[in-house]
Amino acid sequence: MSSELVKKLEIIDSIPNNTASQRVARNKKIEKIKGFFKSNQSLCFLPIHEKDGGLFSVLITSLFENGRKYWYCLNAIRLHGGVIERKYLECFTNYPILPLKKHLPFEKVMQMFISEGILAYSGDYYYLSPKLGQVRPNSLANTTVDLIKSSLLTNFGSLTKNIGLISYNSGETFAEYGKFRWAFKGVSTVTGLVHNGNTGFLLADIIIGTPIFKEDVLFFVEKIKHIQSFNNAGKLIPFLIVDDLDKEALLHLKQNGIVVGFIGELFGQKYADTLKELITILDNAGASLKKTPEKYLDLIKELNKYNEGLANNMRGTFFEFVVGHIHSIDSNSSIDLGREIFENGFRHEMDVVANYPHKIVIAECKAVKSKIDIETVDNWLGRKIPVFKNWVENQETWKRKTLEFEFWSTSGFTDEAFTKLQSVSSSSQRYKVSFFQSNDIRERAKTMKNKKLKEALDDFFLKIKV
């Protein structure tokens, strides 16, 4: 911190405090992060610290100690693997989404982080700046965990309605209450919650797929305290939905009168275990395909038993596993699913990356009901492929390998899109372009002689009965 640096200079150079402070402020070799710390302090660092990966851990620790109200934001993004959808960040950050006296609004705080180069924003997602040196986000895991959370919130709404905890038509996801965002809100007329003719409310947030410690639940405790401090505050039942959490975190929540909703207790332990296994394989999908290549096929069956709607929503995720599975068996290649890269100042996702001894294959995967149209194909050919090609050529260990691009679609392509892909595939000389639809996918899978995969393709992805 700048105050610590000033004190050290005072002692080492035997100079007055003001002189030391001016030296720190004027030294152009020192980088500074400003505006987030008490007493107008700055976090001082050198350019080399952006490269050694240590800046983020120092920044988040400094915020916890000297700028707690801003710490919530970075901790929320850390919990979500470095990237988070806006609606979830609004829940986690403890900043009001509507004007509230003596509180900085969410929008202003986010602009502060962006202007300081700590965060970037793209397509409703906030993510950590690459300069902070964090592990790259896994979009496959993050997107799928968001799907799971959305499904769990819907299930939670149904459960609380069915047992009469909230009024039947009152449940809302990502709703506003007390000028803050909540993952779930419901009106409750349960005896004890109705006060002076005013109904009570059930408010809930959700954290899953990551270790949860005491510090990670502080945002929820503080949000509840804020709205309970208002004049004429309503009666509440606060719920935090989790898959698991540390004992100290559990104790802290209970001490503050918060109901902890464990997924296993709310919806059944077998369903909770299936979700936990799914999140585990998503966290390191490539390694999972190498170690237990058929695990995702088992999970498709299990998930279909407990929540067919969620399984269908995850068809795209599972199809990336199929394509990765085929490449992992084809030869001794390493597989990466949902890899995110930063190129030209923007975030881009590669569905499947297969690293063969002498080539790199980057696959686009679509498991949607409609055929892929010409606009999607043109975007892939004209925007995505050039970005991926440029990025690969800047990777020291990859740039000498040949490069191939593939487009896999379970529902095929429109005539115009098919013609365009055929033309590019036959004429491209700088790199190979291939495309696969249902019959091609089944033929590739046949060569693997894998009964489970064949059944999954027929019953879940391609809907072909043989």
Q: Does 463 have pLDDT greater than 80?
A: no
User: What is the average pLDDT across 146-174?
Assistant: 95
Q: Does 464 have pLDDT greater than 50?
A: no
pLDDT tens per residue, range 357-383: 999 999 999 999 999 999 999 999 999
* Residue 55 phi, psi (nearest 5): -65, -40
Q: Does 353 have pLDDT greater than 90?
A: yes
Q: What percent of the chain has pLDDT over 90?
A: 72
**131 vs 352, higher pLDDT:** 352
Q: Residue 134 — pLDDT band, cuts 50, 70, 90? A: low
Distance CA 33, CA 56 (A): 12
Q: Does 130 have pLDDT greater than 90?
A: no
Residues 1-31: b if buried by 16+ CB within 10 A, e if exposed:
bbbebbeebbeeeeeeeeebbeebeeeeebb
**Which pLDDT score, from 0 to 100, does residue 449 have?**
84
3-state secondary structure of 40: helix
How many alpha carbons fall within 13 Å on the CB side of residue 90?
23
User: What is the average pLDDT across 310-327?
Assistant: 93
pLDDT tens per residue, range 45-88: 998 887 777 888 899 999 999 999 999 999 999 998 888 999 99
Pairing of strands 346-355, 334-343: antiparallel
**Which pLDDT score, from 0 to 100, does residue 361 have?**
96
> Per-residue DSSP letters for 407-455?
EEETT-B-HHHHHHHHHHHHH--SSEEEEE-HHHHHHHHHTTT-HHHHH
pLDDT tens per residue, range 393-419: 999 889 889 999 999 999 999 999 999
Domains assigned to the chain: 26-132 (1.10.10), 139-266 (3.40.1350.10), 284-461 (3.40.1350.10)
CA 21 to chain centre: 40
pLDDT tens per residue, range 4-50: 999 999 999 999 999 999 999 999 999 999 999 999 999 999 988 87
Quick one: which of 295, 266, 323, 347 has its CA closest to 437?
323
Quick one: which of 213, 219, 276 has its CA closest to 245?
213
Quick one: which of 73, 77, 74 has its CA closest to 58?
74
Q: Does 136 have pLDDT greater than 80?
A: no
Distance CA 395, CA 353 (A): 14
> pTM above 0.95?
no
Distance CA 126, CA 343 (A): 16
3-state secondary structure of 214: helix
Distance CA 41, CA 147 (A): 40
How many H-runs (helices) and E-runs (strands) does the chain carry? 21, 15
